[in-house]
Amino acid sequence: MPSNIVCILVAFATVYAVRVLPLTLIRRPIQSRFIRSFLRYVPYVTLAVMTFPAIVEATAVPAAGVAALIIGIAVALWKGNLLLVSAVCCAVVFLVEMIF
Amino acid sequence: MRNNNRRAAFLNGMQDGIPIALGYFAVSFSLGIAARSVGLSPMQGFLASALCNASAGEYALFTLIGAKAALWEIVLVTLIANARYFLMSCALSQRFSPETPFFHRLLIGNYITDEFFGISVAREGWLKPAYYYGAVAVAAPCWAVGTALGIRLGLLLSPRIVSALSVALYGMFLAVIIPPAKRDRAVACCVAAGFLCSWAFGAIPALKTISAGTRTILLTVGLSAAAALLFPIREEASHAE
């Protein structure tokens, strides 16, 4: 059985390879219009998929997560500041969970 | 002049790194509690988080350590749990200006996480390494220290606070995806479809068994490909970036 440290180092080497290979191997602008369009949409789809329904499942009370989602979207539409939206979501969860 | 630009970008990154740091602290604290249960020392937890910078990936790693798994299993599970970073890395590879020195790719690559990727890829123009480093400098230490504290202190932090902080990351994601969705119909469709499909994958019994990491990859590839076919980018617009 490998030691904890060896396990950690092996995981590090693996995840570093996953992250760095595309970044270092693809160094020229990609010509294909399809691939360029695809890569443009990747971040939005990924972040949307990771946000919902996870935000509802992350909180102790699901209603708090729902409220954070709705108010978070509203604040982002009004003013898309990272720190502001994030702080508002935290505050909403804290307040809703205090009531329930 | 150039130095001033770099300084401004770094400070900008630090500011955007604050919500990431809060979220990281909450998540890594609970990750530390998981690491504690499989017998990791605070130092080992610190090392794992400082090196790997991965939430689901590290959680899987700790579970495997607890199960006394073989090294090849660790490699395999780490590949699967972190495969989405491969896609993010492809997307990020197109955001460096041709003049950016190569070593930045080696360094920034290590810090491709959902959050750093999220805040940097949506910015206008070429990616400024200084901006990325600014966010990393604020948030990455919180990730490593939070893990070690979670192991050391266990359940001391009030669950109320942990619950509230746990949405910091999602709030940030909303701030990244919603404003461009307001301006661009194609992005709005991507976001709406992402929400809907992700929810469906969690609700439909046959699809429920798919892990969150795999779900992210399948939906990202499927929906982004559909969007690329439906809304191909205009050539001149992409060159202007």
How large is the C-alpha radius of gyration of chain B? Answer: 19
B154 touches chain A (CB under 8 A): no
What mean pLDDT do residues B118-139 have?
A: 90
pLDDT at B189 over 90: yes
Nearest beta carbon to residue B16 from set A25, A65, A82: A82
B218 touches chain A (CB under 8 A): no
Q: What does the mean pLDDT of chain B come to?
A: 86
- Residue B19 has a pLDDT of 87
What mean pLDDT do residues B20-48 have?
A: 86
Spatial separation of the C-alpha atoms in residues B93 and A45, rounded to whole Å: 18
Which chain B residue lies closest to A43 (C-alpha atoms)? B118
DSSP B56-94: HHHHHHHHHHHTT--HHHHHHHHHHHTHHHHHHHHHHHT
Q: Which of A57-66, B115-124, B141-150 is the least confident region? A: B115-124
pLDDT at B2 over 70: no
Q: How many other CB atoms are found less than 10 A from the CB of residue B13?
A: 25
Query: Which pLDDT band holds residue B239 (cuts at 50, 70, 90)?
Result: very low
State the best of B78, B97, B174 to mutate against chain A, taking most chain A CBs within 10 Å.
B174
Spatial separation of the C-alpha atoms in residues A36 and B32, rounded to whole Å: 39
What mean pLDDT do residues B84-111 have?
A: 90
- Residue A1 has a pLDDT of 59
Interface of B with A in 85-144 (CB under 8 A): 85-94, 96, 102, 105-106, 108-110, 112, 114, 117-119, 121-122
Query: What contacts B1, CB < 8 A, 6 or more positions away?
Result: none
pLDDT at B35 over 70: yes
- Residue B235 has a pLDDT of 62
Q: Cα separations (Å) of A38 from A32, A45, B144, B193, B236? A: 10, 10, 33, 15, 16
Which chain A residue lies closest to B67 (C-alpha atoms)? A1
Nearest beta carbon to residue B91 from set A7, A39, A53: A39
A37 touches chain B (CB under 8 A): yes
Contact B224 A45 (CB under 8 A): yes
Q: Are A77 and B177 in contact (CB under 8 A)?
A: no
Closest CA to B100 of B78, B81, B120: B120
pLDDT at B240 over 70: no
Which chain A residue lies closest to B236 (C-alpha atoms)? A33
Spatial separation of the C-alpha atoms in residues B92 and B100, rounded to whole Å: 13
Spatial separation of the C-alpha atoms in residues B110 and A25, rounded to whole Å: 15
Query: Which pLDDT band holds residue B56 (cuts at 50, 70, 90)?
Result: confident
Q: How do residues A26-38 score in pLDDT, each as one tens digit?
A: 888 788 899 888 8
- Residue B33 has a pLDDT of 78
Q: Which ipTM value was assigned to this complex?
A: 0.87
How large is the C-alpha radius of gyration of chain A? Answer: 20
Q: How do residues A67-80 score in pLDDT, each as one tens digit?
A: 999 999 999 999 87
Task: For Cα atoms B53, B55, B60, give the angle at the middle one, nearest 5 degrees.
Answer: 110
Nearest beta carbon to residue B177 from set A21, A34, A44: A44
Q: Which of A53-57, B161-165, B236-240 is the least confident region? A: B236-240
Q: How many other CB atoms are found less than 10 A from the CB of residue B129?
A: 22
Burial grade of A96 (CB within 10 A; 0-12, 13-18, 19 or more): buried
A52 touches chain B (CB under 8 A): yes
A70 touches chain B (CB under 8 A): no
